[in-house]
Amino acid sequence: MNGGRIPETIIEPGGGLAGLQLRELWDYRELLRFLVVRDIKVRYKQTVLGGLWAILQPLMNMVVFTIFFGHLAKIPSDHLPYPIFVYTALLPWQFFSSGISSSGNSLVANSHLISKVYFPRMIIPAASLGVGCLDFLIAFIILILMMIHYGIYPGLGIFLFPLLMVLVALAALGVGMILAALNVTYRDFRYVIPFLIQFWLFATPVIYPVSIVPVQWRWLINLNPMAGLITGIRSSLLNLPISWPDIVISGAMSVGLFMIGIYYFKKMERRFADII
C-alpha cells in the first residue's frame, strides 16, 4: 500500500557521458531527418540562386584570397597553384565554420520545440550540420573541375579523406554544442561566435601552408585541431606528403572536443526548457 499516492514518473536527461543514450538518439532518427530536411528547405526557400550559394561563397573567398594573399602578399602555396591550394582548404573550413555558427544558435532558434515536447536535445545541433553537408557536396564539384583543369589527381591518400571529414564534423559539433548551451544561458554569446570563427580562420593554415610556421612554434599551431585536419585534407586530395603526427594530434583533439561538448551539453540540458 502506498497510502493512495499516485506514482510519478520523472523524465530528465542523465548527467555526463552516461546520459548520452545512443539508443534513444537512434530511436529519434526520423526527427533528425525531418529537422535536416526542414533546415535545407528554409535555407534555400525564396532564393534566386538556390544551391548556387553553396558554390559562390567559397568560390568568391578563393578569388579574394588569391588576389590579396596569393598575388599581392606572395604567400607560398607548397608549389601548387594558389587558387586550388586555398579552395581545397576552404571547403572543409566552410563546413566547420558554418557548423559552429548554425549549431551554436540552434537551441535558441528552436526554443518553441524545446519548451513543448521531449526529445534528445542533442538532435537539434546535430541536425544543423545537415545543411553544411549538402553545401560541401555541391561546392566539391568545383574542386573536382579545378583538379582536372590543373592536372592534379589524388593518390592513395584519398582514402583518408572521409575519415578526416568525420573528424571535422566531430570538432564542429563539439564546439557547436558548447556554444549552443552557453547561448541559452547567455544570449550575447551569439555575438561571440562570428569573432571566434574569424580568429580561428587565421589560426588555421587555410590561406597559408603550415611550412611557413617556424619549427619552434609548430607545436602551438598543432593545438588547433583544424590545423592538422585541414593540412591532411589538402594532402589527401592534392597528392601531397601526409604528416601523420599532425593528423593523429588533431584527430585526438577533435574527438576530445566532441566528448567535452557532449559532457557540457548534457550537464546543462536539464535547464534548457526553464530558461530558454
Per residue in 88-140, pLDDT (tens digit) is: 999 999 999 999 999 998 888 888 777 777 778 889 899 988 888 988 998 99
Is residue 5 included in any domain, yes or no?
no
CA 92 to CA 132: how far, in whole Å?
10
Q: Is the pLDDT of residue 16 over 60?
A: no
Rg (CA), the chain: 21
Find the mean pLDDT for residues 212-240. 89
Number of domains in the chain: 1
pLDDT tier, 2 (very low <50, low <70, confident <90, very high otherwise):
low
Under 8 Å CB-to-CB from 199, ≥6 apart: which residues?
none
Nearest C-alpha neighbor of 124 from the set 181, 192, 44: 181
Domain that holds residue 245: 18-275
pTM here is 0.87
Q: ∠215-212-210 over CA atoms, to 5°?
A: 85
CA 4 to CA 20: how far, in whole Å?
35
CA 189 to CA 160: how far, in whole Å?
35
Is residue 103 included in any domain, yes or no?
yes
Q: Is the pLDDT of residue 12 over 80?
A: no
* Residue type present at position 89: A
**pLDDT at res. 1:** 46
Q: Is the pLDDT of residue 13 over 60?
A: no
Q: How many angstroms separate the Cα of 62 from the Cα of each of 65, 72, 139?
A: 5, 14, 12
* Residue type present at position 16: G
pLDDT tier, 178 (very low <50, low <70, confident <90, very high otherwise):
very high
**pLDDT at res. 248:** 92
Is residue 162 included in any domain, yes or no?
yes
Is residue 9 included in any domain, yes or no?
no
Phi, psi angles (nearest 5°) of residue 32: -60, -45
Is residue 2 included in any domain, yes or no?
no
How many residues are there in the chain?
Answer: 276
